[in-house]
Amino acid sequence: MYFSQFGTDHGRLVVFFHGAPGASEEARVFDEAARQQDLTIICFDRFSLDISIKGEAYYQHLAKSIEGVASGRPVDFIGFSIGAFVAIQTCRYMAGGVKHLHLVSAAAPLDAGNYVDAMAGKAVFYLAKHFPALFLVLSYWQGLLAFLFPSALFRLIFANTAGADKLLAKEQGFRTSMSKVLRTCFVGRVLGYIRDVDAYVQPWQATLSEITVNTSIWHGSEDNWSPAAMADYLQSAIPGCTSKKIFNGLSHYSCLYQAAGELCNRSAGA
């Protein structure tokens, strides 16, 4: 399976799981710090994976792909947003190969509490869970926007930003980067995006009891994509959780950008 690589070529291996919507380009946020800390950051283009691979077979396939690249080396996982959900599920098939699991702006299971009304993407999740055909139509419409007017899709998705994400969304560099991410996600890979969201909205809180790997949570206090209450729940539900850091005033993407350097330091120190 194709992956993007950042940082150095032969450093300690870290696997980044991008969000949904998202793309491998999101991992570029770690590039500079990873070079300084001699880390190799890889991010699989999982939305391009054969759409017939679903359910547990999907996580097993990701685990085997990671093991193939790692070749016995220790691996850290960083899961961002819904990518944190995929990282958690993939961990279950790594047979002790993950040394540290970092969950950044992580989306908790919807079956664990009444979170959806506080989520900026609540309409998307509601459609995915209750009206999958309409969710399919919406996703293809977003794909058309991403192809023809990527900046318009950016404005639509980031219309309800909170905390420091408001300032981040005004930065031209971020706008350009995220418009590219959205285009990559929705143009030619929309069914892979749909697979992740469909899986996320199903019940999965029972799987958290299997996560005994050393786990750290990184979250923004003002996150309205993955409300901060989700971080509290994940801390209580994951047996291997040893730390939780809340960044005051930060939201979803601003948390990722703020935590990137510290995450690299932690992985290098490990």
pTM, two decimal places:
0.96
pLDDT of residue 156: 93
With a CB cutoff of 8 Å and minimum separation 6, the contacts of 18 are 24, 25, 26, 27, 43, 46, 80, 83, 181
Distance of CA 157 to the CA centre of its chain: 16
pLDDT of residue 148: 95
pLDDT of residue 270: 61
Length of the chain: 270
The structural domains of the chain, with segments of one domain joined by +, span 3-269
Class of domain 3-269: alpha beta
Cβ atoms < 10 Å from Cβ of 95 = 9
E strand intervals along the chain: 3-7, 12-17, 39-44, 75-80, 98-104, 215-220, 241-247
pLDDT of residue 74: 87
CA distance 209 to 200: 17
Cβ atoms < 10 Å from Cβ of 160 = 12
Q: Cis link prior to 74 (omega < 30° from 0)?
A: no
| Residue 56 CA: distances (Å) to CA of 61, 90, 93, 140, 167 | 9, 9, 9, 25, 39
pLDDT tens-place values along the chain, 270 residues long: 889 999 999 999 999 999 999 999 999 999 999 999 999 999 999 999 999 999 999 999 999 999 999 999 889 999 999 999 999 999 999 988 999 999 999 999 999 988 998 899 999 999 999 999 999 999 999 999 999 999 999 999 999 999 999 999 999 999 999 999 999 999 999 999 999 999 999 999 999 999 999 999 999 999 999 999 999 999 999 999 999 999 999 999 999 999 999 999 999 886
CA distance 51 to 171: 35
With a CB cutoff of 8 Å and minimum separation 6, the contacts of 36 are 264
**Beta bridge pairs of residue 15:** 42, 77
Computed on alpha carbons and rounded to an integer, the radius of gyration of the chain in Å comes to 17
**AA letter at 3:** F
Q: ∠ CA(104), CA(110), CA(115), 5° rounding? A: 80
With a CB cutoff of 8 Å and minimum separation 6, the contacts of 125 are 110, 116, 119, 197, 200, 201
**19 near 48, Cβ under 8 Å?**
no
With a CB cutoff of 8 Å and minimum separation 6, the contacts of 200 are 20, 82, 85, 107, 110, 125, 128
pLDDT of residue 176: 93
HSE value, Cβ hemisphere, 13 Å, CA-based, for 95: 7
Residue 25 phi, psi (nearest 5)? -60, -25
State the DSSP H helix or E strand holding residue 60, giving kind and residue range, or none if neither: helix 55-70
**103 near 79, Cβ under 8 Å?**
yes
